């Protein structure tokens, strides 16, 4: 019975939170030390896809790169910028861009190709369509020589995947 009393007393002490006074009081550990760090604000990520701006000015710059590539017979530049138009021509039975543009290079006289290396575009003659595409007439091309429609042609650039491409 005495063991039952001790057992009951021990249980009562445990339930009431009493402690044995011969032992040192147990203190709870201090709360963890928290430090605050200040993070400098960052510039939010752009909400548009990475690439060149969707502006008429950027379309003109891209077309000027094409003209310079045409003048230098730079097949990589020309096929990159004229890729969609070249794919359309390929579907119509012409060869690939890499097959057809070397022929185009040879159709432009050497003096005119040289003039294309530094050609610019007069922005006053360029028009943006309601759908955002940009029309560049051949008469907008400024160089040391004049180009006729049948020599160079007018083009339409369209903004796709973050850049401007010739589509027609």
* 131-138 contacts, C-beta under 8 A, 24 or more apart: 132/54, 132/158, 132/159, 133/157, 133/158, 133/159, 133/167, 134/56, 134/59, 134/60, 134/158, 134/164, 136/59, 136/60, 136/63
Confidence of residue 39 (pLDDT cuts 50, 70, 90): very low
pLDDT score, position 51:
80
Residue 52 pLDDT greater than 80, yes or no:
yes
- Quote the CA–CA distance of 110 and 103 in Å, as a whole number: 13
pLDDT digits (tens, 9 = 90+) for 140-167: 999 999 999 988 999 999 999 999 999 9
- Quote the CA–CA distance of 53 and 81 in Å, as a whole number: 15
pLDDT digits (tens, 9 = 90+) for 95-116: 999 999 999 999 999 999 999 9
Segment 78-88 shows an average pLDDT of 94
Average pLDDT, the chain: 79
Residue 40 pLDDT greater than 70, yes or no:
no
pLDDT score, position 11:
28
In this structure, of 41-45, 73-77, 80-84, the range with the lowest mean pLDDT score is 41-45
Beta bridge partners of 156: 135
| The pTM of the whole model exceeds 0.85 | no
pLDDT score, position 8:
30
- Quote the CA–CA distance of 60 and 159 in Å, as a whole number: 12
Start-to-end Cα distance in the chain: 105
């Amino acid at each position: 019975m005495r063991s039952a009393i001790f057992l009951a007393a021990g249980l009562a002490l445990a339930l009431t939170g009493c402690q044995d006074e011969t032992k040192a009081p147990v203190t709870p550990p201090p709360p963890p030390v928290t430090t605050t760090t200040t993070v400098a604000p960052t510039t939010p990520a752009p909400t548009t896809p990475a690439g060149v701006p969707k502006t008429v000015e950027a379309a003109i710059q891209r077309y000027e790169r094409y003209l310079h590539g045409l003048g230098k017979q730079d097949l990589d530049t020309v096929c990159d910028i004229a890729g969609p138009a070249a794919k359309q021509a390929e579907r119509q039975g012409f060869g690939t861009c890499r097959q057809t543009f070397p022929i185009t290079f040879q159709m432009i006289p050497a003096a005119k190709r040289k003039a294309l290396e530094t050609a610019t575009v007069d922005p006053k003659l360029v028009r943006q369509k309601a759908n955002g595409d940009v029309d560049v007439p051949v008469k907008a091309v400024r160089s040391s020589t004049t180009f006729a429609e049948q020599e160079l042609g007018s083009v339409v650039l369209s903004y796709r995947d973050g850049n401007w491409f010739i589509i027609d």
